Amino acid sequence: MSDGPTPWGTGLTVSAFVAALVAAAIVVLSLGMTRVHPLVSIGLNLVAVGGLAPTLWAWRKRPVRRWFVLGAGVGVAIGWTATLALMLR
């Protein structure tokens, strides 16, 4: 593995696409589960994020995969915020 220059432009673009995809998936699935019961939505979100966390934690040091980890983290935060805003309106 070489210590070449970091591809910030490409990496941040990948992160943005991953964040948008993850946020959209979280909002759609959470709002669907909220129709069943709000606690089901919260529980499934915690299980899903808890299940992905160890894998993403291991990927954070990999040269290419770190951009996916950044996007997933930002996407989860945006998705949860958007879901909460849509549920409270």
Q: pLDDT tens digits for 23-40?
A: 999 999 999 999 999 899
Query: What pLDDT does 36 receive?
Result: 92
Mean residue pLDDT of the chain comes to 92
Residue 8 in domain:
no
Contact residues for 11 (Cβ-Cβ < 8 A; gap 6+): 66, 67, 70
Angle between the 8-36 and 38-59 helix axes, to the nearest 10 degrees?
160
Domain range for 48: 14-88
Residue 9 in domain:
no
Residue 36 in domain:
yes
The domain tally of the chain equals 1
pLDDT band at 13 (very low <50, low <70, confident <90, very high): very high
